[in-house]
C-alpha cells in the first residue's frame, strides 16, 4: 500500500486569527511582533508584505517600510486553542496527525480510501470543514512522504497539489532550495555563499561533498532532494498530566503575589496527584506576560514526589529561572507529568515519626477536608509565607 501523506498549511495563521477576532483589522496591513523596536516580525499580512515587510525583519524597519501597519503582540494561547480545534476536526478522518508548529500539520491518509473514498476528495473535505468551522483557508500538499508534501503545500496555486507517486524528484528539482525541509538547520549565509538556489543542486551534488559544508545534515538534504523521506507521521505524545491554571484578575509583577498564586495552584495539583496515588517526576511552568509573551520551563523532581513542598520547590525553581522580565504577568499554569506510583518510605521505628511523616499526616487530614468540602476549602498558608520573597 502506497503511503499518502497530506501536509495542511494554514497561511498567515496568526494574522487570520486576529482578523477573525477583530474584523476591523481586515484589509489593513497587520504585523505580528513583540512590542519593542528590536523584535522581529513573526507574521505579516499580504497587505504588509506588498509594502516590503518580511517575516524575520526587525520591527523598527518594518514600521518604516509600512507606516500604516497595525502591530499586535503574538497570542500563543489563541493559536493553541485554534490548533486544538483543528486537530479535533482531523481526528474524524485519521488517528494519525502530527502538528508542526501552530499552522502546519502532517496527516497520514494511507488506506483511508476504503472508508472515506478517494484521498484527494478527503483532503478537500478537510479543507472545506476547516474553512467552514474556523474561517481559515488552507493550502494542501499530498504525496507519498512528508518532505514532498511540505514543499507542495508551499507552492500550491489553488487548494491542493497532488504529487503522483514516482514523480517526487522531478517535482522538487526546480523548487526554491529554502523550501526543502531540513534546510532550516543550515546557515542561510552558507547556502547563499554556495549559490544553491534550487533543490536539484542538493540532489546533484555527491553526499561526500555536501558533508564538507553541511556535516551531518548532508545525507538528509541529499535524500530529501531526491524525494525520499521515510519519516512516519507521529501523533503528539500523550502524557499523563495534572495541571492547574490561573487567569489573573489583575495583571501584576509583584513577586510575593505571584508566589502566593503559584503555591495555591501547586496545592490543588498536589491534592489531585495524591488522589490518584501517584508521584510526579517532572514539573512544567507556563507564564504569560500582559504583552502576550509566553515563557515556559521544566524541572525534574528527584526523587519523584507528591508532597506540596517538593512540588512547589520545583515550580519556584522554574519561576526564578524563566520569569525575569519586569513586565506584569497575566496568566500562570503549572503542570506535573511523568506520573508514577507513589512510594513512601516508612520509618523503621514506629514510635519515632520523621518530620516528613508528620507533614504527610497533616496533608492527609487536609485532603480529607478538601474531599468533603471542596479543593479550595483549606490552604496551608503558613507554608507559603516563608518562601514568598525571591
Q: Is 231 a member of any domain?
A: no
Q: Is 27 a member of any domain?
A: yes
What DSSP string runs through 154-187? HH-SSSEEE--TT-HHHHHTTSBGGGSTTGGGS-
pLDDT of residue 222 exceeding 80: yes
Residue 153: give its domain's CATH number. 3.30.70.270
* Structure confidence by residue, pLDDT tens digits, 127-152: 999 999 999 999 999 999 999 999 99
221 and 252, same domain (yes or no): no
Q: Is 2 a member of any domain?
A: no
Q: Tell me how far apart the alpha carbons of residues 55 and 386 are, in angstroms, rounded to a whole number.
A: 46
174 and 201, same domain (yes or no): yes
Q: Is 234 a member of any domain?
A: no
82 and 175, same domain (yes or no): yes
Domain count, the chain: 3
194 and 275, same domain (yes or no): no
pLDDT band with cut points at 50, 70 and 90 for residue 345: low
Identify which has the larger pLDDT, 76 or 7: 7
| pLDDT value of residue 387 | 35
Domain that residue 45 falls in: 13-75
264 and 328, same domain (yes or no): yes
Count how many Cα atoms sit within 13 Å of the Cα of residue 325 in the half-sphere of its side chain. Answer: 14
Which of 172, 198, 225 is where one domain is finished? 225
pLDDT of residue 349 exceeding 60: no
Q: Tell me how far apart the alpha carbons of residues 192 and 202 are, in angstroms, rounded to a whole number.
A: 13
Count how many Cα atoms sit within 13 Å of the Cα of residue 111 in the half-sphere of its side chain. Answer: 4
* Structure confidence by residue, pLDDT tens digits, 23-68: 999 889 999 988 776 678 989 999 999 999 988 888 889 999 999 9
Q: Is 217 a member of any domain?
A: yes
pLDDT of residue 389 exceeding 60: no
Amino acid at each position: 500500500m502506497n503511503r499518502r501523506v497530506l501536509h495542511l498549511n494554514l497561511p498567515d495563521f496568526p494574522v487570520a486569527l486576529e482578523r477573525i477576532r477583530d474584523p476591523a483589522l481586515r484589509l489593513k496591513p497587520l504585523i505580528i511582533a513583540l512590542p519593542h523596536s528590536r523584535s522581529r516580525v513573526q507574521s505579516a499580512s499580504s497587505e504588509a508584505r506588498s509594502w516590503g515587510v518580511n517575516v524575520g525583519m526587525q520591527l523598527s524597519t518594518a514600521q518604516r517600510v509600512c507606516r500604516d501597519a497595525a502591530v499586535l503582540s503574538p497570542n500563543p494561547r489563541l493559536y493553541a486553542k485554534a490548533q486544538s480545534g483543528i486537530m479535533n476536526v482531523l481526528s474524524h478522518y485519521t488517528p494519525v496527525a502530527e502538528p508542526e508548529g501552530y499552522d502546519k500539520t502532517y496527516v497520514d491518509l494511507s488506506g483511508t480510501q476504503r472508508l472515506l473514498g478517494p484521498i484527494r476528495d478527503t483532503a478537500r473535505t478537510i479543507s472545506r470543514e476547516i474553512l467552514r468551522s474556523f474561517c481559515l483557508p488552507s493550502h494542501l500538499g499530498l504525496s507519498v512522504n512528508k518532505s514532498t508534501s511540505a514543499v507542495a503545500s508551499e507552492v500550491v496555486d489553488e487548494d491542493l497539489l497532488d504529487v503522483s507517486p514516482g514523480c517526487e524528484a522531478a517535482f522538487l528539482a526546480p523548487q526554491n532550495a529554502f523550501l526543502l525541509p531540513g534546510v532550516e538547520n543550515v546557515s542561510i549565509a552558507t547556502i547563499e555563499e554556495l549559490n544553491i538556489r534550487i533543490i536539484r543542486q542538493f540532489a546533484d551534488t555527491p553526499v561526500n561533498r555536501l558533508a564538507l559544508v553541511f556535516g551531518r545534515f548532508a545525507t538528509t538534504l541529499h535524500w530529501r532532494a531526491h524525494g525520499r523521506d521515510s519519516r512516519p507521521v507521529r501523533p503528539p505524545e500523550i502524557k499523563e498530566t495534572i495541571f492547574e491554571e490561573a487567569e489573573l484578575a489583575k495583571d501584576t509583577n509583584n513577586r510575593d503575589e505571584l508566589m502566593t498564586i503559584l503555591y495555591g495552584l501547586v496545592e490543588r495539583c498536589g491534592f489531585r496527584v495524591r488522589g490518584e496515588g501517584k508521584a510526579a517526576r517532572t514539573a512544567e511552568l507556563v507564564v504569560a506576560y500582559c504583552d502576550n509573551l509566553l515563557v515556559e520551563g521544566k524541572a525534574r523532581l528527584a526523587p519523584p514526589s507528591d508532597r506540596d513542598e517538593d512540588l512547589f520547590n520545583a515550580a519556584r525553581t522554574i519561576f526564578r529561572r524563566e520569569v525575569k522580565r519586569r513586565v506584569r504577568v497575566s496568566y500562570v499554569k503549572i503542570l506535573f507529568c511523568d506520573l508514577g506510583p507513589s512510594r513512601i518510605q516508612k520509618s523503621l521505628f514506629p514510635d519515632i515519626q520523621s518530620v516528613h511523616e508528620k507533614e504527610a499526616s497533616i496533608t492527609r487530614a487536609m485532603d480529607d477536608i478538601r474531599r468533603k468540602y471542596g479543593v479550595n476549602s483549606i490552604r496551608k498558608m503558613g507554608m507559603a509565607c516563608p518562601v514568598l520573597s525571591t
